[in-house]
Structure formats: structure tokens, C-alpha cells
Amino acid sequence: MGRKYYCDYCDKRIQNNYDIIKQHNVGLPHIRAKAEYFHQFKTIDDILAEIKYKPPCRSLKDGSECMFGVLCRYRHYTTEQIWEMEKI
């Protein structure tokens, strides 16, 4: 059998078949892992521009973890955290 394809973002090995790799790349776990990977390289200015006008996430109010992670359309920072980022 041939070698397996390794996805760096998901840390998974899958069959080295074009259709399977293409299907994996459009899957939600891969998209989320890729977004979380690139989120670590964003500057504070990029993060502020992205979250400044978003309403707070409901899971932040509940104290639970958001299941959408970086892909959430709401912000996961409190107003105090945003003020601290603006000072820097």
C-alpha cells in the first residue's frame, strides 16, 4: 500500500487519495484546526480589528467553553481585556 497523507493542522494521517484529502480539507475539524493554527500568529492590532465590534459570546457569559472556538462569530474577550490590549 502507498504512504499515508499527514495533515499538519489536524495531526492526522489519512489515505493518500485526492478525493479523500479534498473531503478532509473542507471538513469542519480541519477548518477549525487551521484557523486555530493561524490565530497564534496574529498581532494584537489584527485581533482588535477583528473583535472590536463583535458582541460577546453567550458561552463567555455562562462561563463554559465555546464549541466554535476561533470560528465563532462572537468575541471571547471581555471589555476589560479589550481595553488592556488597546493600551499595549
User: What residue spans define the domains of the chain?
Assistant: 1-41, 42-87
> What is the distance between the alpha carbons of residues 70 and 8, in angstroms, rounded to a whole number?
18
Query: What stretches of the chain show up as alpha helix (H) in DSSP?
Result: 18-25, 28-39, 44-51, 58-62, 79-87
Please name every residue paired with 64 in a beta bridge, in sequence order, or none if there are none.
none
Q: What is the pLDDT of residues 35-77, one digit of tens each?
A: 999 999 999 999 999 998 899 999 888 888 888 889 999 999 8
Phi, psi (5° rounding) for residue 15?
A: -60, 145
pTM (2 decimals)?
Answer: 0.77
For position 16, what pLDDT does the model report? 95
